[in-house]
């Protein structure tokens, strides 16, 4: 089983010149990095960082696997209803590990596993469009919400539940629902208990965006025929590599490089996989990095706003869209390539009548050459970049990537001296929505927003 590797040479001044990091600078950060490592270990020991316990929950993974094996052939479609941390990991796992046109395969080709839909929005056209294509008698809905109160999740659930009841009846809809939520609290927990709905627990100490390796991400993966024990094994192997010697700890080094880059004004972290299957891993990472690190904090009695901005890109597609900016635009970015050594398909470019330089090469060679060319072009222009190499995309390597990036987020949060595990900004948006939607207990928020809107009306700058 292969291990992923991090090469950060092109972030060092040897290659990125004045825009890179000197070895002495990196070494000077080691004491702070070691202390970040220790703080995270202490938080883990206090039971505050549940995501670090997930790789070891193999018994639970076995239970989910056997539940899914028993149930999944009964349904044509599996629909995840959740948002943010309760959806992005599910999408990333599916795109990375299953056929890229999974929902278009025949049931036999899917080995009797259901199609997967993750409509993570409350756009009426999205939900109506989904209802148009589902045969509700053959659907199972996984309602995922840690809090059990998120408006988007509950609204979609109520609509789909209503449609289900109409189709299968008031006594049967429960068999079409699996709830993943807190063990004790929240509306969804109460409903699961009251209606006898199959349910799984999202541990209270696992934050939404750190929950992909909990039942949040594992149930849909198991229903889609994936080996979730191997996902956890990959995370566990990464956990073992991320030890006290921070110089050999890939998550700590990734955090250190990104932290030093931020200090040098490279505040944008572009994640660019050269692999279609990994495109949603960058989307998942975008949430992890943004929600964890975009924080207002107090350092030495001064308010400081921290915020490395994650951007997702895709090679080779975005060579024709973004790379011009990365190579000649402002020096405010660091690129993280996700590089795959062995693609799971090999496609030869056929011969043509008139000789062509592309013939008899493979798409595998072409995408690799494009990746190398972009890396060299960036480095020649002193644009810092690092590469995470993945021997092959599979459950074991994806488990490693998730865990490494989660841990790196935890470490860099300590370097920035912020709390990487809360999300007051998201909560603010949530309570203002509750106010606007007339939820009782949120009258103050409703008034606040109405006053703001009235003021805006008086002085509208719009054309």
Chain positions contacting ligand PA5, by CB under 6 A: 83-86, 145-147, 150, 153, 207-209, 291, 423, 426
Q: For residues 114 and 207, which CB has a smaller minimum distance to ligand PA5 in the complex? A: 207
Residue 134 CB, shortest distance to ligand PA5, in Å, is 22
Q: Which of 291, 371, 395, 414 is catalytic?
A: 291
Q: For residues 151 and 377, which CB has a smaller minimum distance to ligand PA5 in the complex? A: 151
443 included as an active-site residue: no
447 included as an active-site residue: no
Residue 291 CB, shortest distance to ligand PA5, in Å, is 5
- Do 307 and 348 touch, CB atoms closer than 8 A? no
Residue 85 CB, shortest distance to ligand PA5, in Å, is 3
Written as one string, the DSSP assignment of 391-435 is EE-SHHHHHHHHHHHHHHHHHHHHHHTS-TT--HHHHHHHHHHHH
Q: Could you tell me which of 160, 182, 188 has the C-alpha nearest to residue 173?
A: 160
Q: For residues 153 and 393, which CB has a smaller minimum distance to ligand PA5 in the complex? A: 153
End-to-end alpha-carbon separation of the chain, Å?
59
In sequence order, what are the beta bridge partners of 81? 143
Beta-carbon contacts of 333 under 8 Å, excluding residues fewer than 6 positions away, are 266, 268, 269, 270, 311, 326, 383, 384
Cα–Cα distance measured from residue 160 to residue 114, given in angstroms and rounded to the nearest whole number = 18
- Do 214 and 233 touch, CB atoms closer than 8 A? no
Cα–Cα distance measured from residue 225 to residue 329, given in angstroms and rounded to the nearest whole number = 44
Residue 40 CB, shortest distance to ligand PA5, in Å, is 18
Residue 284 CB, shortest distance to ligand PA5, in Å, is 11
Q: Which of 19, 57, 430, 445 is catalytic?
A: 430
Q: Could you tell me which of 21, 3, 4 has the C-alpha nearest to residue 12?
A: 21
430 included as an active-site residue: yes
Q: For residues 145 and 397, which CB has a smaller minimum distance to ligand PA5 in the complex? A: 145
Residue nearest ligand PA5, Cβ-based: 208
372-388 burial: b if 16+ Cβ within 10 Å, else e:
eebbeebbeeebbbbbb
Q: For residues 272 and 288, which CB has a smaller minimum distance to ligand PA5 in the complex? A: 288
Q: Which of 320, 353, 355, 457 is catalytic?
A: 320
Residue 86 CB, shortest distance to ligand PA5, in Å, is 4
Q: For residues 147 and 379, which CB has a smaller minimum distance to ligand PA5 in the complex? A: 147
- Do 139 and 81 touch, CB atoms closer than 8 A? no
Catalytic residues: 291, 320, 430
């Amino acid at each position: 089983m292969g291990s992923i590797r991090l090469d950060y040479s092109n972030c060092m001044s040897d290659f990125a010149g004045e825009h890179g990091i000197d070895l002495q600078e990196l070494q000077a950060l080691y004491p702070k990095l070691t202390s970040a490592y220790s703080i995270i270990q202490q938080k883990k020991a206090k039971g505050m960082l549940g995501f670090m316990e997930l790789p070891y929950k193999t018994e639970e993974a076995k239970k989910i696997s056997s539940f899914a094996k028993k149930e999944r052939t009964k349904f044509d479609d599996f629909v995840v209803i959740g948002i943010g941390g309760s959806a992005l990991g599910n999408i990333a796992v599916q795109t990375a590990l299953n056929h890229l046109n999974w929902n278009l395969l025949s049931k036999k080709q899917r080995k009797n596993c259901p199609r997967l839909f993750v409509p993570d929005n409350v756009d009426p056209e999205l939900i109506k469009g989904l209802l148009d294509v589902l045969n509700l008698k053959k659907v199972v809905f996984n309602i995922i919400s840690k809090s059990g109160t998120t408006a988007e999740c509950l609204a979609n659930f109520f609509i789909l539940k209503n449609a289900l009841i109409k189709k299968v009846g008031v006594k049967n809809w429960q068999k079409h629902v699996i709830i993943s939520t807190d063990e004790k609290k929240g509306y969804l927990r109460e409903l699961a208990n009251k209606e006898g709905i199959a349910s799984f627990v999202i541990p209270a100490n696992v934050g939404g965006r750190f929950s992909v390796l909990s039942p949040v991400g594992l149930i849909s993966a198991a229903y889609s025929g994936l080996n979730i024990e191997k996902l956890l094994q990959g995370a566990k192997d990464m956990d073992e590599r991320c030890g006290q010697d921070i110089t050999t700890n890939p998550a700590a080094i990734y955090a250190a490089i990104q932290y030093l880059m931020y200090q040098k004004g490279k505040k944008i972290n572009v994640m660019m996989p050269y692999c279609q299957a990994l495109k949603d891993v960058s989307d998942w990472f975008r949430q992890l990095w943004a929600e964890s690190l975009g924080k207002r904090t107090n350092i030495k009695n001064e308010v400081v706003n921290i915020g490395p901005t994650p951007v997702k890109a895709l090679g080779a597609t975005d060579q024709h869209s973004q790379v011009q900016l990365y190579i000649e635009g402002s020096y405010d970015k660091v690129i993280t390539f996700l590089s795959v050594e062995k693609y799971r398909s090999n496609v030869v470019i056929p011969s043509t009548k008139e000789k062509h330089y592309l013939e008899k090469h493979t798409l595998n060679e072409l995408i690799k050459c494009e990746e190398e060319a972009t890396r060299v072009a960036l480095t020649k222009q002193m644009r810092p970049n690092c590469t995470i190499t993945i021997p092959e995309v599979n459950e074991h390597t994806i488990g490693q990537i998730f865990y490494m990036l989660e841990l790196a987020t935890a470490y860099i949060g300590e370097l920035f001296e912020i709390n990487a595990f809360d999300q007051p900004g998201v909560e603010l948006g949530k309570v203002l929505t509750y106010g606007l939607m007339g939820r009782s207990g949120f009258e103050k928020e409703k008034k606040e927003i109405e006053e703001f809107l009235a003021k805006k009306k008086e002085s509208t700058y719009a054309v």
